[in-house]
């Protein structure tokens, strides 16, 4: 028997298409050959900050065990389905497919996978890794897609993972409004949360995409069993062509890397960074809030964008001296703005005291006094009493924010952002696969 790992990426575009849908069709075809799947299909989200990514920047991997004489047939199915289903007319869609044979994944592929989630990987680097480990690669158009294809193979999700069940529409409904029973989604959420997450946000349904792609809805959760159960609670008002349960790095924060100081921050990184607030937050056109932090190596802007809603209010209440830990992707500098961390969440480590100054009270009538000028004391306008006090009184006031972790609402989360339901959780790879995990 042969262990074959199949990775592919970069088949969709903003105009349509979906790499997970091609994966679902490949699963159906391979199942007819009676191959043995040794893991769920892997849905691996790569660095969300790269400028040349497709919509969700997801790469896919299938791991199977087959008889040696079926290997070429399997490869042919994969290549034909991707060639047939990829949106090749779009300029920036450049599918890549990789095959790796062997029971164990080599360290070089694991290393490439981690870097592809957190940094920029070049095509040259990916091709070198493929050659080093003996991976077979195929490309349609240019070779960019092989980066994600190899990264998906290299990702074992050994320390944490989540699941997502994705359902797909019949082709005649592509581009039409999605039809689901909202009450059933609400019931599903209340029944399965917190073991499923990011289903609804303030009455807004989050399980449905909005583009012309084939996905009807997707439910994310802690186990294959819970997402399958949740799927069975949702009432669809249109036919479902197929569905698949994926194991994924979504909701794991796997894209974030700890950097020691501001000098180590680079464009397109996803970082965790400690610093001290060094300026008053400011709101810029569009409703975005910018706050600057510093450490011994420099200063950097951090941005909370308008779609993060109430999260911006937390940022507005920061003051110089607050110690914070910021999490987010790094936007490169341009002529309009400096290097900036786009905030995905923030942890307030230590709040600085907040003082307010006010004029002293009149000791005769109790009214607030007014200044008579610099170093001239205060005078009560009501009773005329004068005071030799030259300084305003100072009072420490409570802060409206606390020393804790703050996240934007679920509607503003990135695919990889760890939601509040998963804080402190980590899942190990299952020993057996839940049945059923796909249809047909």
Task: Render pLDDT for 291-342 as a digit per residue (tens, 0 to 9).
Answer: 999 999 999 999 999 999 999 999 999 999 999 999 999 999 999 899 999 9
- Nearest residue to 241 (alpha-carbon basis) of 10, 12, 28: 28
Percent pLDDT > 70 in the chain is 99
pLDDT at residue 7, as a whole number:
98
Quote the DSSP letter at residue 416. Answer: T
Looking at the DSSP bridge assignments, the partners of residue 136 are 99
Q: pLDDT tens across 348-357, in order? A: 999 999 998 8
How large is the average pLDDT for residues 44-55? 84
Asked whether the beta carbons of 161 and 383 are under 8 A apart, the reply is no
Phi and psi at 68, nearest 5°, equal -55, -35
pLDDT at residue 362, as a whole number:
79
Q: Is a pLDDT exceeding 90 seen at residue 374?
A: no
- Nearest residue to 9 (alpha-carbon basis) of 76, 82, 73, 75: 82
pTM attached to this predicted model: 0.91
Distances (CA, A) of 303 to 289, 315, 321, 327: 6, 9, 18, 11
Q: Is a pLDDT exceeding 70 seen at residue 261?
A: yes
Q: pLDDT tens across 271-292, in order? A: 999 999 999 999 999 999 999 9
Would you tell me the crossing angle of helices 71-85 and 19-31 to the nearest 10 degrees? 150
The count of other CB atoms within 10 Å of the CB of residue 396 is: 9
Q: Is a pLDDT exceeding 90 seen at residue 17?
A: no
Q: Does the CA dihedral 155-156-159-161 come out positive or negative?
A: positive
């Amino acid at each position: 028997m042969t262990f074959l790992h199949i990775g592919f990426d970069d088949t969709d575009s903003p105009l349509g298409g979906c790499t997970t849908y091609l994966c679902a069709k490949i699963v159906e075809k391979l199942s007819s050959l009676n191959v043995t799947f040794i893991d769920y299909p892997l849905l691996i989200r790569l660095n969300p900050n790269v400028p040349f990514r497709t919509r969700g920047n997801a790469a896919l991997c299938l791991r199977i065990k087959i008889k040696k004489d079926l290997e070429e047939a399997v490869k042919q199915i994969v290549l034909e389905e991707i060639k047939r289903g990829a949106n090749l007319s779009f300029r920036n869609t450049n599918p890549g497919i990789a095959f790796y044979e062997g029971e164990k994944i080599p360290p070089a592929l694991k290393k490439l996978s981690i870097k592809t989630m957190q940094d920029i990987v070049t095509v040259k680097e990916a091709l070198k890794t493929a050659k080093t480990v003996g991976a077979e690669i195929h490309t349609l158009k240019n070779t960019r897609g092989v980066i994600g294809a190899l990264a998906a193979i290299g990702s074992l999700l050994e320390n944490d993972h989540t699941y997502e069940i994705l359902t797909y529409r019949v082709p005649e409904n592509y581009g039409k409004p999605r039809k689901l029973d909202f009450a059933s989604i609400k019931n599903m959420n209340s029944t399965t949360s917190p073991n499923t997450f990011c289903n609804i946000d303030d009455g807004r349904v989050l399980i449905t995409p909005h583009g012309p792609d084939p996905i009807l809805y997707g439910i994310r959760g802690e186990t294959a069993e819970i997402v399958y159960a949740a799927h069975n609670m949702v009432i669809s008002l249109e036919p479902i062509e197929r569905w698949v349960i994926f194991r994924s790095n979504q909701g794991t924060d796997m894209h974030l890397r700890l950097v020691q100081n501001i000098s180590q921050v680079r464009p397109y990184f996803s970082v965790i960074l400690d610093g001290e607030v060094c300026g008053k937050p400011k709101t810029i056109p569009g409703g975005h809030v910018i706050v600057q932090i510093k450490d011994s190596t420099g200063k950097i802007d951090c941005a909370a964008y308008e779609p993060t809603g109430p999260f911006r209010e937390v940022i507005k209440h920061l003051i110089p001296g607050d110690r914070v830990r910021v999490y987010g992707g790094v936007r490169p500098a341009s002529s309009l703005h400096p290097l900036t961390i786009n905030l995905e969440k923030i942890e307030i480590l230590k709040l600085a005291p907040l003082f307010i100054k006010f004029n002293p009270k009149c000791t005769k009538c109790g009214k607030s006094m007014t200044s008579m000028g610099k170093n001239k004391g205060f005078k009560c306008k009501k009773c005329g009493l004068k005071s030799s006090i030259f300084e305003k009184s100072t009072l420490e006031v409570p802060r409206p924010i606390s020393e804790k972790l703050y996240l934007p609402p679920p509607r503003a989360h990135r695919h990889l952002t760890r939601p509040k339901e998963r804080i402190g959780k980590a899942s190990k790879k299952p020993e057996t696969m839940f049945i059923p995990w796909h249809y047909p």
